[in-house]
Amino acid sequence: MLINNPEDRKKLLTHVPLLAEIDRQYGPPPAWSRPPGFISLVKIIIEQQVSLSSALAHYNRLSEYVGEVTPETLLALTEVEFRQCHISRQKRSYLLALSEAVLNKELIIDKLADLSEAEAKAVLMKVKGIGHWTADVYLMLCLQKKDMFPIGDIALRSALKALSGLTDPTEMIAFAENWRPLRSLATCYLWHYYLEERGRTLPW
């Protein structure tokens, strides 16, 4: 079931006034999702620490260059070719590590959906370059896991700061404990607030 559904929204908004106010002002967030699989993981890695629009441009350049983004095509690229696609040396190392893990069957992406949130996150984070934020975003959007809280996300922290006055990530995590087991939906509300306040939309 999608993380953004009427039943879960009703449960969450009933006991979280802060999120209920976002719903009152802007309505429910879009039903954001991304297809599970290798390509989405590649895109999320490229999105680390850059704007989503820049990341999309870099991914599109990479995709146009290789024709089809697969572990094999990425492993065949040289460092110079990655640079021509505006992929940094660090992210190149992450994409190569992901590609090798998939080909070596150290990471079987299709099996992640069958695992608990904690188990799936632990498996993902064994791959170099996949930290908490990357794993959280993948599990939340691609697998629709319901209780993810990607505290490393700038938009999430910015929205929560504006609405609650909290600035410390540890305090934000503690504050969001009350939102379990629907923290993914709560995150969608915070993203929704962040985007609406700025008149922006997600580029994917």
Among 142, 158, 178, where does a domain finish? Answer: 142
pLDDT band at residue 104 using 50, 70 and 90 as cut-offs = very high
Q: Are 134 and 45 in contact (CB under 8 A)?
A: yes
What pLDDT, on the 0 to 100 scale, is given for residue 202?
Answer: 87
Mean pLDDT of 28-39: 97
Closest CA to 46 of 186, 160, 204: 204
Judge if 13 and 62 occupy the same domain.
no
Tell me: pLDDT of 85 over 80. Answer: yes
The runs of H, that is alpha helices, within 85-182 are 89-103, 117-124, 132-137, 154-164, 169-176
Q: How far apart are CA 110 and CA 29, in angstroms?
A: 27
Nearest one of 141, 203, 116, 110 to 3, comparing CA atoms: 141
Kindly state whether residues 99 and 62 are assigned to the same domain. yes
Asked whether residue 120 falls in the same domain as residue 153, the answer is no
Average pLDDT over every residue of 63-81: 97
Query: Same domain for 154 and 135?
Result: no
The predicted pLDDT at position 16 comes to: 97
Answer with the one of 142, 167, 184 that is the final residue of a domain: 142
- The span from the CA of 91 to the CA of 158, in Å, is 25
Residue 195 pLDDT > 90: yes
Q: Which residues are CB-neighbours of 130 under 8 A, at least 6 positions away?
A: 41, 45, 94, 98, 124
* CATH number for the domain that contains residue 69: 1.10.340.30
Q: Is residue 203 part of a domain?
A: no
Averaged confidence pLDDT in the chain: 97
Q: 113 is in which domain, residue-wise?
A: 38-142
- Tell whether the torsion through CA atoms of 86, 69, 41 and 53 is positive or negative: positive
Same domain, 61 and 122: yes
pLDDT at 48: 97
The mean per-residue pLDDT over the stretch 1-26 comes to 96
Per the structure, how many domains does the chain have? 2
Domain co-membership, 44 together with 136: yes
124 and 60 part of one domain = yes
Q: What is the pTM for the complete model shown?
A: 0.96
Task: Copy the structure tokens of residue 67.
Answer: 């024709």
Question: Does the pLDDT value for residue 129 go beyond 80?
Answer: yes
**Could you tell me if residue 76 is inside a domain?**
yes
pLDDT given at position 204:
72
The pLDDT of residue 203 is: 78
Cα distance between residue 83 and residue 195, in whole Å? 31
pLDDT of the residue at 103: 98
Cβ-based neighbours of 164, under 8 Å, separated by 6 or more: 18, 172, 175
CA distance 115 to 68: 28
Collapsed DSSP state (helix, strand, coil) of residue 2: coil
What pLDDT is attached to residue 19?
98
